[in-house]
Structure 1
Amino acid sequence: MTETAPAPANDTGHKMSAKNVNVFYGSTQAIRDVSIDIDMDHVTAFIGPSGCGKSTFLRTLNRMNDTVASARVEGDIRLDGEDIYSPSMDVVQLRARVGMVFQKPNPFPKSIYENVAYGPRIHGLAASKADMDGIVERSLKRAGLWEEVKDRLSDSGTALSGGQQQRLCIARAIAVDPEVILMDEPCSALDPIATAKIEELIHELRGRYAIVIVTHNMQQAARVSQRTAFFHLGTLVEYGVTDDIFTNPRQERTKDYITGRYG
């Protein structure tokens, strides 16, 4: 039986809700009976030791596990009350609504402009070149990158620094006007200065999108999130207000992890 704490109440309702989620890779169970609610006005951090299931669970939220042949997901995951694993769900559309930023920056081998314009073009979000120019500029501004690249939009996205590439990937994710942004250890490959810029960006994007970040850096979780979920051995041990999780955890396993007794 999992030791899941009740999700914090939210007057505005939950953007995403997962109930009794189990994930299998072949015969191996990676996630056990996880239930959690994701709210629009909070950044939610997933923490826990390596291999605890936090990234695996994150990938269930926009069906990235569909790309793994042996993966099987059981349980109920809803976006605005809609079952995202329903046969009628358009997965391409789902991934536009629930965008993902990966651990290693992965810009397309295209220009900075085309990296951002790619999604809006596929989804038909721009009726003209002027519309597309507006989307690209707005997305790069929201990602805190516009001033650094506005005079070289035709340069390759892969020529940017690591931190700039990660902000370009965030601009690419938000260009299709998502509702949720999933970030899988977005700063682990970055230096401290680039990391600080990404954390500042997360603060600025909060409330505009529901944001979920997987991080192995507990200080980062404490800095950027309002809700924290602690995973261990594929289970959700505890979920609650970030300050409470770090200063007054309910579960002994959470306390042991926070104080560095294992992990």
Structure 2
Amino acid sequence: MEQMTEKSKMTARNVSVFYGDKRAIDNVSIDVDMENVTAFIGPSGCGKSTFLRTLNRMNDTVASARVEGEITLDGEDIYASSMDVVQLRARVGMVFQKPNPFPKSIYENVAYGPRIHGLASNKADMDVIVEQSLRKAGLWDEVKDRLSDSGTALSGGQQQRLCIARAIAVDPEVILMDEPCSALDPIATAKIEELIHELRGRYAIVIVTHNMQQAARVSQRTAFFHLGNLVEYGETSEIFTNPRQERTKDYITGRYG
């Protein structure tokens, strides 16, 4: 198992997740840092998305969900009663599987979060935030002349980059991506992967993916989940070329999943 480091942005220790009586995640410990993109891989229903959602308390929205163990952000327990969940979700942003822009203009999609969190004191400040966020998401040159157009009028790949710009706009520290390319064509997927490379180091990034080739391309750390367990976690190159666990090897070589 990969050693935990002091450079970790987020740490999970002995985390279990229950939906009612059903245990979806069993005693998982993992670290996420700024230097490396971390990929969660594993067959459908193995718990990788459930575990991702614990990192910004998205499971709070499910009435039957219960989380045990400890998850910290910069050493602070994110499940503490004193934690402001709205602030937490600004610090730990989420990009979903299906692009979900708001039915607003491209500009307003990006400005929405900063406006709620009071990050801009005037229109000029907001203009800067919107432009910088769209630039970081690799979208500015494609939309700068049509910021008043609806975000939903963009192509699927552009919509996903708009959602990434929206997440970036509130100045997060961590970006969680739940299969961000599964609804996209290969060209749009390549753009998102390129974007992940560019964002690495500025944010701690975690990506859930069904696509093992994608995990190999974009991540430096890979965690393999199976039946709610973290089977193996380590350097991506090691996981894919020299896995320590037989279950990992079987999955990587296509024997199941």
**Which TM-score applies when normalising by structure 1?**
0.97
Identity, % of aligned positions: 87
User: In the alignment, does 2:208 pair up with 1:229?
Assistant: no
Amino acid of the structure 1 residue aligned with 2:81: P
- CA distance in structure 1 between the partners assigned to 2:51 and 2:138 by the alignment: 28
1:172 maps to which of 149, 166, 169: 166
User: In the alignment, does 2:96 pair up with 1:94?
Assistant: no
User: In the alignment, does 2:7 pair up with 1:13?
Assistant: yes
RMSD over aligned Cα atoms = 0.7
Alignment of 1:1-263 (within 5 A): 5=1, 7-8=2-3, 10=5, 13-263=7-257
Q: Which 4+ residue blocks in structure 1 deviate beyond 2 angstroms?
A: 7-10
The alignment partner of 2:70 has SS state of strand
The alignment partner of 1:15 has SS state of strand
Per-residue CA shift, 1:13-57, capped at 9, x if unaligned?
Answer: 100000000000011110000000001110000000000000000
Amino acid of the structure 1 residue aligned with 2:185: D
Work out whether residues 100 and 181 of structure 1, in 8 Å CA contact, stay in contact via their aligned partners in 2: yes
Unaligned runs of 5+ in 1: none
- Judging changes above 3 Å, is the alpha-carbon distance between structure 1 residues 154 and 42 closer, same or farther for their aligned structure 2 residues? same
- CA distance in structure 1 between the partners assigned to 2:177 and 2:221 by the alignment: 15
Per-residue CA shift, 1:95-141, capped at 9, x if unaligned?
Answer: 00000000000000000000000000000000110000000000000
- CA distance in structure 2 between the partners assigned to 1:8 and 1:156 by the alignment: 46
Amino acid of the structure 2 residue aligned with 1:239: Y
Amino acid of the structure 1 residue aligned with 2:234: G
Cα deviation, residue 174, structure 1: 0.3
- CA distance in structure 1 between the partners assigned to 2:228 and 2:186 by the alignment: 30
Per-residue CA shift, 1:131-166, capped at 9, x if unaligned?
Answer: 000000000000000000000000000000000000
Amino acid of the structure 1 residue aligned with 2:224: F
Cα deviation, residue 8, structure 1: 3.9
Cα deviation, residue 173, structure 1: 0.1
The alignment partner of 1:208 has SS state of coil
Aligned residues: 257
Amino acid of the structure 2 residue aligned with 1:68: V
Amino acid of the structure 2 residue aligned with 1:159: A
- CA distance in structure 1 between the partners assigned to 2:194 and 2:224 by the alignment: 23
- CA distance in structure 2 between the partners assigned to 1:72 and 1:137 by the alignment: 39
- CA distance in structure 1 between the partners assigned to 2:170 and 2:156 by the alignment: 23
The alignment partner of 2:8 has SS state of coil
Amino acid of the structure 2 residue aligned with 1:64: M
Work out whether residues 61 and 77 of structure 1, in 8 Å CA contact, stay in contact via their aligned partners in 2: yes
